[in-house]
Amino acid sequence: MAEANRIFDDIAGARPIFTIQTPKGVVRAVELENGMKASVRGFSSQPSRPTIQIEGFGSKTIKIRFA
């Protein structure tokens, strides 16, 4: 999770980061300068796999899951 948070913080830069509490755990999210959104969480569809998610325009979503 530490590596996922470090990479997310690099992506976020100096932009404000929002914290969202969900039933599965905490999600940290940011809106990028181009309007896309990025988030990091300590869970995924496969439990306890940290995930960085980048939501593009339309239906484009990139998920990076860590081992």
pLDDT band at 5 (very low <50, low <70, confident <90, very high): very high
Q: Across-strand partners of 25?
A: 22
pLDDT in tens, 11-59: 999 999 999 999 999 999 999 999 999 999 999 887 779 999 999 888 8
Tokens of 9: 């913080």
Sequence-separated contacts (24+) of 47-53 with Cβ below 8 Å: 50/1, 50/3, 50/4, 50/5, 51/4, 52/4, 52/7, 52/8, 52/11
Position 57 scores a pLDDT of: 82
Nearest to 35 by CA among 12, 57, 20, 13: 57
Position 29 scores a pLDDT of: 98
Position 14 scores a pLDDT of: 95
